[in-house]
Amino acid sequence: MKIAIIDYGAGNIQSIKFAVQRLGFEAVLSSNAEEIQNADKVIFPGVGEAGSAMRMLRSTGLDKLIPDLKQPVLGICLGMQLMCKSSEEGNTTGLGIFDAEVMKFNTDLKVPQIGWNTITELQGKLFENVYAEEYVYLVHSFYVPECSDEIARTNYGVDYSTAINRDNFYGVQFHPEKSSKTGEQILKNFLNL
């Protein structure tokens, strides 16, 4: 199986590559359009700020490539947020794969949300052998409000979509590569789609 991790200068791509290796697969880090298009599975990670990440995607043409991919694509953290229509972070226009607007937490709780939280309302193949109320690891100040593409939910002062799915596109706000056995199972489920 060919697995491509999109390398556009935003993110902890090495830890995702190591997580894939622990599952017995090899992944290539790539910004090459042909290599990404020819992969069986694509992982779209992201750590950082939405505006600068979108500028990097535009400068390489990946902003046009990603929405046209036909194989399973998994957006992680900022990667998931960039797949949405827009983000309040830097007033950024996203890739428009999901019809959702990313919002900044407006809560008395500490922002960013950093640490472990539970996932509930799990739906679909991404969560096979994963159970409601299991813990995942999150680091974020912005979130996707509950939407029709939601396949998992988390509460942090407000209920929000912690995982979304439309057609071949999946997004998770949490970091499966840092979420222990639960994250490993979710990553394995994605690779088995």
Q: Which residues are catalytic?
A: 77, 175, 177
Residues 77-93 as b or e (16 or more Cβ within 10 Å = b) = bbbbbbbbebbebeebb
Q: Which residues contact 182 (CB under 8 A, 6 or more apart)?
A: 130, 134, 135, 136, 176
Q: CA-CA distance, 144 to 187, in Å (whole number)?
A: 21
CB hemisphere CA count around 24 (13 angstroms):
4
Contact 45, 12 (CB under 8 A): yes
Question: The tokens of 52 are what?
Answer: 């600068």
